[in-house]
Amino acid sequence: MIDSDALNIPKSSFPRVVIVGGGFGGVALAKELSGKEVQVVLLDKNNYHTFQPLLYQVSTGGLEPDSIAYPIRKILQDYKNFFFRMAELQQVVREQKIVVTNIGELSYDHLVIAVGSETNFFGNIEIEKNGMAMKSIPQSLNLRSMILENFEQALLTDNLHERDALMNFVIVGGGPTGVELAGALAEIKKGILPKDYPDLDTRRAQINLIQSGDRILKEMSEKASEKAEDFLESLGVQIWKNTRVTDYDGKKVSTKTKLEFEAATLVWAAGVKGVSIKGLDAENFLVPGNRIKVNEFNQVVGDSNIYAIGDIACIQSDTTPYGHPMMAQPAIQQGTHLGENLVRLFDNKAMQPFKYKDKGSMATVGRNKAVVDLKKYRFQGVFAWFVWMFVHLFFLIGFRNRMVVFINWVYNYIRFDREARLIIRPYQRDYSKFNEPRTSKKEV
Amino acid sequence: MIDSDALNIPKSSFPRVVIVGGGFGGVALAKELSGKEVQVVLLDKNNYHTFQPLLYQVSTGGLEPDSIAYPIRKILQDYKNFFFRMAELQQVVREQKIVVTNIGELSYDHLVIAVGSETNFFGNIEIEKNGMAMKSIPQSLNLRSMILENFEQALLTDNLHERDALMNFVIVGGGPTGVELAGALAEIKKGILPKDYPDLDTRRAQINLIQSGDRILKEMSEKASEKAEDFLESLGVQIWKNTRVTDYDGKKVSTKTKLEFEAATLVWAAGVKGVSIKGLDAENFLVPGNRIKVNEFNQVVGDSNIYAIGDIACIQSDTTPYGHPMMAQPAIQQGTHLGENLVRLFDNKAMQPFKYKDKGSMATVGRNKAVVDLKKYRFQGVFAWFVWMFVHLFFLIGFRNRMVVFINWVYNYIRFDREARLIIRPYQRDYSKFNEPRTSKKEV
């Protein structure tokens, strides 16, 4: 029997599973538990699920933010004995089996941590303050606004040096996010900037992709890396390998070598880490990268009724010393698998260990340009690009979202355009570093 | 010859027309001036044109904000000698023929004020502070977020009184905006709330539409008013006529009579006024409603090279003692007409007086429910609703926007749904008025 509590969840004779996080993992788990003899409470700080793989298209005006978000309540509508609360997790109190949130406390029988990951600045506060992250829809909209504001600002300065800096993009991190963002920006530079800013020499705009290692897309095959580099270079992206960014003051990007960039925009896509959770943040719970150590049943060490899935969970094994990749597929599979295991548990059956089915990985660079690594097949180019689009449409939740995204893609493809270049949520950065105060000038 | 100036607009041997505002009027004017021997500088505080008639659908989760916004730079792309600057007008200095903006000063040969209107709270600061307006996309998103946040909050209180207030909507103003918003909310109450909030008695949600006069849609025919009332009542909207709201403290709505409402949401759609412009705000420039007095050539009194068009302009005549209605059609027609007049002026021809062609008006209440008054025909119901949709799609700028809006409408129609019920930009109101601090409760 569970107490009624501050979140107004009714009592139930079924065990209560509290899922924290409505991302890929949490939603897959909820789906699996629907119709089972269980009460499910899903908590998320947002009232929507975010389709993170397409955030870069929101940032670059290719998609509307609403198209890659889906109301969590709508996902749960058809499930009985499911409750959603918009709440931010503040603490887990294991001894009392409660979670503390910003709207009150909630007791659980089983707790599943599925809060995902956040941008990892590796402790560099300056980069965190001055650089842009792209892990959420608001962050993506901030980046979209800032990119556009930079160009509006570039129009106003006569200092060529400043103007170049305002049109200079430095993307740190050569993973799929960095590669896809760099490719999209390069296409914007080519197809949109000259038309939108006829009074600006947009050929001087630069897109720099910086990778600490010796190849981009290092989780993929060497062929994919090579091809992606070719694609990016053909679009005019400058790739800097074996280069480690050490600092960014809002204008100057420093690296470990003598290389420096003057850039108004630095996007940090160089790493993610698990979100910190009070009560589960002791060292014995964690592995490097702030992920929560779990066994092959996704159980948190030392606690049989707390689980973690997705980006925040790390199942260490001989074959996966660093856990599974922090992306959608492992989260979905772990969510589904944990759902099955919980049902087994309630039926007094033995839980089954999680086995990851690697379905391959892919990244897109631009129109007709993508790289796909499947288990047996590797391919690049137009067909890969179609596969990439099909897979992303397939995994988007909701028919309306799929249709709207599809329409946007077809339109953008035919017209070489991205019409959502709107500053609806101004970023309002301080440009004092870039421009002297302006007054009317004398006639030259 | 014009000086180059702080906004970096190049010199031109053609006369410079500065248009302030990229709404219906400003855009129509720009279009008319394209290809003419003129330099055009369009200023707007946003980088997008807003299709205001559909803002209420953004507020109610039926449309994505990006779908009713269109990049101004894209509109101007094909026009030669056109310049856009994202700038907010601060002052007009008539003696020097310059406008002062937040990014610097700009000289003009001809100045067109097309800044539109803003919500008129008639000096009531409490209502302005606690009520919601719906005249821009950010405001509409704020309203969307607040509506959803109110329901999330209603789940958390045990005080029935408070809960009812959180689910109570008061819409002040029975014009098209108020009517359309009330209808949309009523449909949400019926079709979405019971599914989204199974643990809340959403039948208790109320939608109140308050009108100071004795009928709603008072600018339309009596038949239209009557029918719109029928439609709204059939959807469960409570209409309060001859009722004047006098105050709102964030919870209690006071009226001139004894009638009171306890409501967390008050939407103020009871009036608009011209935006104030320093330098054109002296009494002799204005008519009641803060609109700028212009002659039949849209020229501002006493200044042959300053013009005003659209909502902010008032052409007083015997037939139009209060000027033209503050809506899209007069703005578009005045913009086009002024463009023709300016060309006449440059050709040393006489300007022609503006004549308004009333194309009728319409409002929608809900699915299959709209009212249309044309010059010769008046009709209500399903056909009116189709006409309403067609006309709105037609006037939306851009093929992509039309497609995406169309897809959303078809989807919403078939599924009785509105999937953009997303709190992407939290409104974060202070609920302390509605809820005591909550702690875990003892088992009852």
| Domain shared by A110 and A129, yes or no | no
| Weakly modelled stretches of chain B, pLDDT under 70 | 1-4, 433-444
User: Closest residue of A to B61, CA-based?
Assistant: A66
ipTM of the complex: 0.93
CATH number reported for the structural domain that contains residue B137 in this entry: 3.50.50.100
With tokens 């001055």, the residue in question is A130
Contact B422 A69 (CB under 8 A): yes
| Domain shared by B206 and B145, yes or no | yes
The answer as to whether B357 is a domain residue is no
| Domain shared by A386 and A340, yes or no | no
Contact A441 B10 (CB under 8 A): no
- B433 closest CA partner among B223, B166, B184, B45: B166
With tokens 């109320």, the residue in question is B206
| Minimum distance, in Å, between the CA of residue B141 and any CA atom of chain A | 10
Q: Are B168 and B261 contacting, i.e. CB atoms less than 8 angstroms apart? A: yes
Angle at alpha carbon of residue A405, lines to A83 and B195, rounded to 5°: 25
Alpha helix (H) ranges present in B155-289?
Answer: 160-166, 176-191, 193-196, 222-234
Write out chain A residues lying below 8 Å of B4, CB-based.
441, 443-444
Cα B273 to Cα B291: distance, rounded to the nearest angstrom = 7
Contact A421 B66 (CB under 8 A): no
| Minimum distance, in Å, between the CA of residue B323 and any CA atom of chain A | 32
> Phi and psi for B358 in degrees, rounded to 5?
-75, 110
In whole angstroms, how large is the CA radius of gyration of chain B? 23
Bridge partners of B93, per DSSP, are B98
Contact A77 B441 (CB under 8 A): no
Write out chain A residues lying below 8 Å of B425, CB-based.
138, 425
Cα B194 to Cα B375: distance, rounded to the nearest angstrom = 41
The answer as to whether B7 is a domain residue is no
- With residue A408 as reference, give the H or E element that holds it: helix A399-415
What pLDDT score does B434 carry? 63
How many residues are present in chain A? 444
Write out chain B residues lying below 8 Å of A399, CB-based.
411
- Predicted TM-score (pTM) of the model is 0.94
Nearest CB among B137, B148, B398 relative to A47 is that of B148
Cα A434 to Cα A170: distance, rounded to the nearest angstrom = 16
| Domain shared by B276 and B335, yes or no | yes
| Minimum distance, in Å, between the CA of residue A84 and any CA atom of chain B | 9
| Minimum distance, in Å, between the CA of residue A148 and any CA atom of chain B | 9
Segments forming the whole domain that contains residue B333:
16-45+87-119+272-346
How many residues are present in chain B? 444
The answer as to whether B279 is a domain residue is yes
The answer as to whether B151 is a domain residue is yes
| Domain shared by A336 and A373, yes or no | no
For chain A, the helix, strand and coil percentages under 3-state DSSP, each to the nearest 5: 35, 25, 40
Nearest CB among A69, A404, A438 relative to B6 is that of A438
Cα B262 to Cα B254: distance, rounded to the nearest angstrom = 9
Contact A423 B48 (CB under 8 A): yes
Please report how the helices B399-415 and B382-395 are oriented relative to each other, as an axis angle in degrees rounded to 10. 150
Cα A62 to Cα A366: distance, rounded to the nearest angstrom = 12
Q: Which of A283, A315, A346 is the last residue of a domain?
A: A346
User: Closest residue of A to B63, CA-based?
Assistant: A66
| Minimum distance, in Å, between the CA of residue A63 and any CA atom of chain B | 9
| Domain shared by B261 and B276, yes or no | no
| Minimum distance, in Å, between the CA of residue A436 and any CA atom of chain B | 11
The answer as to whether A231 is a domain residue is yes
All residues at 6 or more sequence positions from B132 whose CB lies less than 8 Å from its CB, including other chains? B139, B142, B143, B146, B265, B266, B267, B268
Q: Are A105 and A99 contacting, i.e. CB atoms less than 8 angstroms apart? A: yes
The answer as to whether B136 is a domain residue is yes
The answer as to whether A240 is a domain residue is yes
Contact A47 B423 (CB under 8 A): yes
| Domain shared by A168 and A230, yes or no | yes
What pLDDT score does A425 carry? 84
Cα B75 to Cα B48: distance, rounded to the nearest angstrom = 9
| Minimum distance, in Å, between the CA of residue B303 and any CA atom of chain A | 24
The distance in angstroms from the start CA to the end CA of chain A is 83
Residue A383 carries which DSSP code?
H
Cα B46 to Cα A424: distance, rounded to the nearest angstrom = 8
Contact B400 A407 (CB under 8 A): yes
| Domain shared by B248 and B131, yes or no | yes
Cα B131 to Cα B170: distance, rounded to the nearest angstrom = 10
Cα B143 to Cα A181: distance, rounded to the nearest angstrom = 32
Contact B67 A64 (CB under 8 A): yes
CATH number reported for the structural domain that contains residue B340 in this entry: 3.50.50.60
| Minimum distance, in Å, between the CA of residue A87 and any CA atom of chain B | 10
| Domain shared by B277 and B239, yes or no | no
Cα A243 to Cα B93: distance, rounded to the nearest angstrom = 53
| Weakly modelled stretches of chain A, pLDDT under 50 | 1-4, 436-444
Q: Which of A346, A381, A412 is the last residue of a domain?
A: A346
Is residue B257 exposed (0-12), middle (13-18) or buried (19+ Cβ within 10 Å)?
Answer: exposed
Bridge partners of A148, per DSSP, are none
| Domain shared by B246 and B318, yes or no | no
Nearest CB among A103, A423, A440 relative to B5 is that of A440
Give the number of domains in chain A: 2
Contact A10 B83 (CB under 8 A): no
Residue A238 carries which DSSP code?
E
A156-162 contacts: CB < 8 A, separation 24 or more? A156/A435, A156/A438, A156/B6, A156/B7, A156/B8, A156/B85, A156/B103, A156/B104, A157/A434, A157/A435, A157/B8, A158/B8, A159/A435, A159/A436, A161/A262, A162/A434, A162/A435
Tell me whether strands A265-268 and B361-366 are parallel, antiparallel or unpaired: unpaired
Cα A430 to Cα A250: distance, rounded to the nearest angstrom = 10
Contact B440 A195 (CB under 8 A): no
> Phi and psi for B263 in degrees, rounded to 5?
-150, 135
Contact A8 B46 (CB under 8 A): no
Contact B400 A421 (CB under 8 A): no
Q: How many CB atoms lie within 10 A of CB A412?
A: 21
Q: Which of B346, B378, B404 is the last residue of a domain?
A: B346
Write out chain B residues lying below 8 Å of A71, CB-based.
196, 419, 421-422
| Domain shared by B260 and B384, yes or no | yes
User: Closest residue of A to B142, CA-based?
Assistant: A425
Contact A440 B105 (CB under 8 A): yes
Q: How many CB atoms lie within 10 A of CB B217?
A: 25
3-class secondary-structure state, position A212: coil
Query: b/e map of A58-90 (b: 16 or more CB within 10 Å)?
Result: bbbbbbbbbbbbbbbbbbbeebebbbbbbbebe
Contact A85 B46 (CB under 8 A): no
- B310 closest CA partner among B296, B328, B294, B322: B328
In whole angstroms, how large is the CA radius of gyration of chain A? 23
Amino acid at B171: I
Q: Are A49 and A23 contacting, i.e. CB atoms less than 8 angstroms apart? A: yes
| Domain shared by B218 and B151, yes or no | yes
The answer as to whether A374 is a domain residue is yes
